[in-house]
Structure 1
Amino acid sequence: MNNRQYEDEAHTDPIGYRTGEGSEFHRAVHSAEPAEVGRSRAATRHARAAVSRKRRGRILGVVLGLIVVLVVAGGGFFVFDRLSGGPAAPDDFAAGSSGDSVVVRVHPGDTAQQIGAEAVEKGVVASADAFMGAAVQNADIASVQPGYYLMPSNIPASQAVNTLVDPSARVGSVVISEGRQLHDARDVNTDAVKKGIYTLLSEASCIDTTGSGTPTCISYDEFNAAGGVDDPSALGVPDWASDRVRGVPDRDRQLEGLIAAGSWDIDPSASASDILRQLVSESAQTYEDTGILTAGADSGLDPYQTLVAASLVERESLPADFSKVARVIVNRLAEPQKLEFDSTVNYSLDTTEVATTDADRATVTPWNTYAMEGLPASPIASPSVAAVEAVEAPADGDWLYFVTINQAGETLFTRSYDEHLANIGKVEAGFLDSGR
């Protein structure tokens, strides 16, 4: 910006109002209309008084324009401080009259006024103006992040703001890690249970609205039942997956892979169906943003097949090898040759281990790729965006085999079966032994 912004050398105050010679403020203070000739002294005094009133009105108008808009940085909230003294104090609830708690949502980019309006709608505060006034006085408002917050109803605005900025008020936060499955899985070697998505959602839905100390939750069974409806489109399943999802042989598993890995905020006061609809529909958009709808030109797979293959990539390899494992899948499908992935055997058993038994591999299921050619009937986990992108654009190579040889995840690739057998001989002692 040039140092000289105005030819008349007008000054600019900190928020952009011109106050130098030639400005509205300068004219309001220094100019006066000339009195008419021939008036009486009383008329002249009256005229001067009118001019003075007009001058004061101009000055007040400029001063009102200088009321500072308070910007609360970092949290994305813009709070407007209103001129006090004239209007009556905004409606506010009295202390000590709080009721049951309710869930208030903070959307990305919400202003204090918008949060206040939501709080009014939910019965937390009496007016948005009172909430705004309290927000102006609490610098911690900048720390508030988008999400859901449990807040008592019928409370003073200052208490509402104090509650909102308390991290313990946030509810409904859940992290779904890459490769997570809908249902709990047991580690064969340690017997540890890895919580499934439905269990994580159940835990995130727990809230205590009455202050009794005993929270209410949406149960695992409720999520499982909601996810098994006959019409998957009612849960936000996109058109490119609907027909295939309807064909999944186990209704309890039909949403597998359709809830993307990531950090989520769910409304604990919503129903299980509404929560799943939010997660599935927003996940579909996440997958579509990767180019999944058109990626088949390179991989030869349709969008749902891409999702299925990505789940195998996620469960079979580390990110550094995603694109190579994706190429092995594409190459084997083209042969055609069975994929023979242990992860698909584990999926039907709800267990986790690097290796599987001969008996397990011989068991025919819609997911066991040792017992059939082609891809499993559905994804076997929630793939990461990186895994999806790897399948959309696999690495160049003619590999048909790979084996991970140690705990560090070192993986060897080859097209030759004889070389593959030699690579298996390099496996760290005990690494591929089954725990069963």
Structure 2
Amino acid sequence: MSDEHRQYQSRAEARRAREAREAAMARRKRGRGAAVGIAIFIALAVVGGGGYFVFDKLRGDAAPDYASGEPGPEVVVVVNSGDTASQIGAQMAEMNVVASSAAFYEAAVQNPAMSSVQPGYYHLASHLPASEAVAALVDPASRVGSLVISEGRQLHDTRDVNTGAVKRGIYTLISEASCLPGASGDLDCVTVDELDAAGAGSDLAALGVPAWALDQVRVVPDRSRQLEGLIAAGSWDFDPAADATEILRGLVSGSAAKYEATGITTAGANVGLNPYEVLIAASLVERESLPADFGKVARVIVNRLAVPQKLEFDSTVNYALDTTELATTDQDRATVTPWNTYAKEGLPATPISSPSIAAVQAVETAPPGDWLYFVTIDAQGTTLFTRSYEEHLANSKLAVESGILRSGR
């Protein structure tokens, strides 16, 4: 075995492997079924026990299999929702992870952990004995390109004013999830800078931006923020061998489908907002309130826009500063930015975070109410709503007394 087989492939090699994998997948006849864990479990159960004996007799000669030894270059294999053990084995053979799909299938039958394999991307060595290939596939450490985006997460890193703690942004999370071992043994990752540059690109179709957001995204004043809110909160899988634009396109287009499932393309008409404005408003709801108050905060936004009256949300002040703080300073609130709703009327230029689906739905179905003001008065998140400015001042006094509205600067 040559030295090059002892080294991990570079990202370029991984991309070539991805192209080969895609070609292999195109040749496969896709089956339809339940989630992959269930599908594999059923497939294995069918050939278990006596069924396996019959299969073995019918098969005759032993299936071709690689001998134990030094593994070959590593590749990225994808498991799709609904894949059976046979379909996974076929791809494994196409990618030269195993010598034959039959050998993989036989090994899969004997490994009960196969029933827990989830859809996603897996980083595996090639030229493996089938039993080792199955063991590698079921090892959680082999999973790559998997990330969870929490509700209210922003594209870029943010810093807490009071503690100095840095909250990793979506681009940082994607970068970390994209890492593959490189040829030298070091990790090879899509960098935050590459993602930031790709996300600022002018070809919005290449980035997966949906038609209902195109016109407003085109005029975003800061290109590096144009995808804000368009990558939805939730669990995601992406091909870590892809480049930055391909990764973002998959996440943005997948997110658009999630948002569209809520009715975002039409539901905003109920509150006088277009789909992209619904997304912006939902991001404000996410950052300004707890789930129990989503509906009321959504109604405050709708009511203020209708008056019209400035929103005056501290979250929009923080957004342009890449900081987080419940209270902001007079100087910060006076700083004019396309997002600062103390300094401008209407909605901010873009969403200020990735809202939850619950926040989107809260805007689409904002409950009736005449509230124009709200303030959180304690660290537990107790929030008071009113239409009266005088009552709002009294409520704000409670917040000041509790220390919740005291800036850390």
Q: TM-score, normalised by structure 1?
A: 0.81
Matches within 5 A, 1:30-429: 74-77=37-40, 78-79=43-44, 80=47, 81=52, 82-84=55-57, 87-208=60-181, 213-427=185-399, 428-429=401-402
Matched residues, number: 365
TM-fit CA distance, 1:277? 0.6
1:432 and 1:100 mapped to 2: Cα distance? 57
Contact 2:377–2:402 under 8 Å retained in 1: no
Contact 2:373–2:392 under 8 Å retained in 1: yes
1:113 and 1:209 mapped to 2: Cα distance? 30
The one-letter code of the counterpart of 2:150 is S
Contact 1:100–1:209 under 8 Å retained in 2: no
1:74 and 1:164 mapped to 2: Cα distance? 13
2:36 and 2:159 mapped to 1: Cα distance? 46
Superimposed CA distance per residue, residues 39-73 of structure 1 (whole angstroms, 9 cap, x where no aligned partner)? xxxxxxxxxxxxxxxxxxxxxxxxxxxxxxxxx99
Which sections of structure 2, spanning at least 5 residues, go unmatched?
1-34
Which sections of structure 1, spanning at least 5 residues, go unmatched?
1-71
1:85 and 1:397 mapped to 2: Cα distance? 72
2:70 and 2:98 mapped to 1: Cα distance? 11
TM-fit CA distance, 1:87? 3.1
2:37 and 2:279 mapped to 1: Cα distance? 36
Q: SS of the counterpart of 2:159?
A: strand
Contact 2:316–2:339 under 8 Å retained in 1: yes
Q: CA RMSD in A?
A: 1.6
Q: Which moved more, 1:164-173 or 1:83-92?
A: 83-92
Contact 1:108–1:146 under 8 Å retained in 2: yes
Residue number in structure 1 paired with 2:6: none
The one-letter code of the counterpart of 1:285 is A
Contact 2:268–2:363 under 8 Å retained in 1: no
The one-letter code of the counterpart of 2:242 is A
TM-fit CA distance, 1:76? 2.4
TM-fit CA distance, 1:399? 0.3
1:140 and 1:429 mapped to 2: Cα distance? 53
The one-letter code of the counterpart of 2:324 is T
2:151 and 2:263 mapped to 1: Cα distance? 19
Answer with 1 or 2: which has the greater Rg. Answer: 1
Contact 2:36–2:80 under 8 Å retained in 1: no
Q: SS of the counterpart of 1:232?
A: coil
| 1:73/1:364 CA distance change after superposition, 3 Å | closer
1:405 and 1:411 mapped to 2: Cα distance? 6
TM-fit CA distance, 1:150? 1.0
TM-fit CA distance, 1:86? 5.1
**Higher percent of residues as helix:** 2
Contact 1:101–1:209 under 8 Å retained in 2: no
Contact 1:231–1:246 under 8 Å retained in 2: no
1:234 and 1:386 mapped to 2: Cα distance? 28
The one-letter code of the counterpart of 1:325 is V
